[in-house]
Amino acid sequence: DTAVSQTPKYLVTQMGNDKSIKCEQNLGHDTMYWYKQDSKKFLKIMFSYNNKELIINETVPNRFSPKSPDKAHLNLHINSLELGDSAVYFCASSQGYGMNNEQFFGPGTRLTVL
Amino acid sequence: DAKTTQPNSMESNEEEPVHLPCNHSTISGTDYIHWYRQLPSQGPEYVIHGLTSNVNNRMASLAIAEDRKSSTLILHRATLRDAAVYYCILRDLDSGNTPLVFGKGTRLSVIA
């Protein structure tokens, strides 16, 4: 069983379009995240949700809007796509406080904006 | 999260042990040392973590210096599948479900 899944795996689109990436975790975790890995391979946090509530937004443009319909899902909607949005986006989840909070990552969605 | 320093890249022969170093001279008393790795075209995955004592699990061992200012991830017998970027990350005891802060990591190449 896949723990954290993302769809689609690849997404190619034109500048100015609106697109969504979906994430689901079947681990029963309370916290979910979106990370972005740019062309230089730097991995950076974008958003963090706990029990469907936004707890961290790392100065991401308003064009990016995460939505968590329930604890198991955290989708990422991007409006008016720009060339600089091209990257690999990773969803992750974790549970619990203290040091027993290993994060589980999805396989990533490679977004290419033309 | 405190800063860590890792070599950009390392190379190993298959079936040999690999020692991946990490310096964290500004580590605080409540910082745990976590290691994640990212295989090609995959998301990062947890490897191991520790506080003061050396730790072993099925994937690797973690050796922590007595002053805790450095640590070493040990892969006992490198396989081709271990070729990945390895990230050393400090996490405070109270960090809970906060995001991971990734550095550049060490790119490990394994030669057959």
Kindly give the confidence (pLDDT) of every residue in chain A, 114 residues in length, as a single tens digit, with 9 standing for 90 and above. Answer: 679 999 999 999 999 999 999 999 999 998 999 999 998 889 999 989 888 888 877 778 999 999 999 999 999 999 999 999 999 999 999 986 555 578 999 999 999 999
Distance in angstroms (rounded) separating the CA atoms of residues B14 and B77: 7
Whether A109 has its CB under 8 Å from any CB of chain B: the answer is: no
Among B48, B55, B88, B97, most A C-beta atoms within 10 A, so best to mutate, is B97
Q: What is the mean pLDDT of residues B5-28?
A: 96
Nearest CA in chain B to A42: B104
Name the residue among B32, B42, B99 with its Cβ closest to that of A45: B99
Q: What is the mean pLDDT of chain B?
A: 93
Mean pLDDT, rounded, for B27-36? 92
Window 1-20 of B: residues touching A by CB (8 A cutoff) are none
Any CB–CB contact under 8 A between B102 and chain A? yes
Provide the pLDDT for residue A51: 82
The mean pLDDT value for B37-45 works out to 97
- Expressed in percent and rounded to 5, the helix, strand and coil fractions of chain B are 5, 45, 50
What residue in A sits closest to B37 (Cα-Cα)?
Answer: A105
Average pLDDT (B37-51) is 96
pLDDT band at B93 (very low <50, low <70, confident <90, very high): confident
Cα B40 to Cα B64: distance, rounded to the nearest angstrom: 27
Distance (Å, whole) CA A28 – CA A73:
11
Please answer yes or no on whether A106 and B43 come within 8 Å at the CB atom: yes
Residue with tokens 């600089």: A84
How far A46 CA sits from the closest chain B CA (Å)? 9
Q: What is the model's pLDDT at position B42? A: 96
pLDDT at residue B43 in the model: 97
The arithmetic mean of pLDDT across residues B97-108, rounded, is 91
What is the band of B66 on the pLDDT scale with cuts at 50, 70, 90? very high
Q: In chain A, whose CA is at the least distance from the CA of B101?
A: A44
* Chain A residues touching B91 at Cβ < 8 A: 99
Nearest to B97 among A41, A94, A106 (CB): A94
Burial class (CB in 10 A: 0-12, 13-18, 19+), A72: middle
Contact status of B59 with chain A (Cβ, < 8 Å): no
Omega of the bond leading into A8 within 30 degrees of 0 (cis): yes
